[in-house]
Amino acid sequence: MGSVPKFLILRFSSIGDIVLTTPVIRCIKQQIPSAEIHFVTKEVYAEVLANNPYIDQLHTLNEGYEKQLLTHLRSIQFDYIIDLHHNLRTWKFKWFLRSSTSYSFSKENIKKWLLTAWKKNLLPDTHVVDRYMETVKPLHVKNDGRGLDFFLSEKDHVSKTELPLTHIHGYVALAIGAAHATKRVPIEKLKILCATLPTPIVLLGGKTDAAMGQALQAEDNIKIYNACGKFKLGETAFLIKNCKLLITPDTGLMHIGAALKIPIISIWGNTVPAFGMYPYYGDVSIANRMVEIDGLSCRPCSKIGYQSCPRIHFNCMMKHDMQKIADLAAKLLNP
């Protein structure tokens, strides 16, 4: 290791998975003197790490420009590659930069397949963050227990004038989007939840969720504010940081909420916390309630998700009792 050891961390996607790598970034930077940290991710996800002070240089992977990126990375001459994605593409990166020592995250894909296909759970009872940290254990880097990071800048601040007057004194943030439909709470269930929650609500999601958000806001234009598609990721994170409680499915905003130390109620569909990707706070004690339908023979059906339920019935979401979730929210809001 040189006087200025250079580290290249690889994690190409997605929002939540990248947020989950942040303890590794921080711990390397703070525990290895003079460490220079470089990180590669897809351009579309660069904003997740744009304000991270522990990263010396953020490199973006753009379609059609991979060769140029690899050539540039080879010229830097890294001492270590930390592969937290571990797929065919990261193998290509490690092969191209093979003069560097590399450490790769164990994805436990066979065990995940056994759980989804045969409902046999052989996965370690550890969070994926702790498994990420195992990747850098040979470097004597240890988990500092501080949880996840998500850093906001001044430009991420959302003025109170952007919110209705009914919401400026407090609200529940309700994330309605997810990359896969089988992770999303169906709109008919969301309508019940919105009607029964005891406080003003800010709906969070991207542009593809705007229509659903509009339909939900139409149910109660005073209580519900649809922020879907109106704000960038950092601004959405600011809205989460200033909420009283985040209710969310298994999605990237859930991990951002955990990074910002916000109490969370997570609603689980086809995926399960046993995959090790539930809200992670480190050693910090924050209210965290995971709501899932136990006893379904078809769950989990996928480690990621589908665009529709393979069994049609979608019981993993449709069987959720929204009144019980609203009651749980009320208890967390008024302990």
Q: Which of 110, 139, 168 is the last residue of a domain?
A: 139
Same domain, 135 and 162: no
Domain assignment of residue 146, yes or no: no
Same domain, 109 and 209: no
Q: Which residue has the tokens 């600011």?
A: 238
What confidence score (pLDDT) does residue 231 get?
A: 97
> What residues contact residue 10 under an 8 Å CB cut-off, 6+ apart?
39, 40, 81, 82, 83, 84, 85, 90, 93
Q: DSSP characters for 231-265?
A: S-HHHHHHHHHT-SEEEEESSHHHHHHHHTT--EE
* Signed CA dihedral, 49, 71, 10, 179: sign only: positive
Domain assignment of residue 119, yes or no: yes
Domain count, the chain: 2
- Give the mean pLDDT per block of 10 residues along the chain (335 residues): 87 97 98 97 97 98 94 96 96 92 95 96 96 97 98 96 95 96 98 97 97 98 97 98 98 98 98 97 96 97 95 98 98 93
What confidence score (pLDDT) does residue 3 get?
A: 81
Domain assignment of residue 148, yes or no: no
Same domain, 185 and 124: no
Residue 275 backbone dihedrals phi, psi, to 5 degrees: -65, -15
Q: Which of 107, 139, 171 is the last residue of a domain?
A: 139
DSSP state, residue 181: G
What confidence score (pLDDT) does residue 163 get?
A: 96
Same domain, 120 and 161: no
CA 83, CA 66: separation in Å to the nearest integer?
17
Same domain, 204 and 283: yes
Strand partners, 102: 81
Domain assignment of residue 77, yes or no: yes
Domain assignment of residue 241, yes or no: yes
Could you list the residue range(s) of the whole structural domain that residue 58 is in? 6-139
Torsion from C-alpha of 215, 219, 223, 227, nearest 10 degrees: 0
Same domain, 173 and 104: no
**Tokens at 286, concatenated:** 């924050």
What confidence score (pLDDT) does residue 2 get?
A: 55
CATH number of the domain within which 16 lies: 3.40.50.2000
Same domain, 246 and 306: yes
Same domain, 118 and 174: no
Same domain, 299 and 253: yes
What confidence score (pLDDT) does residue 100 get?
A: 83
Same domain, 170 and 290: yes
Same domain, 269 and 171: yes
pTM confidence score = 0.97
Domain assignment of residue 151, yes or no: no
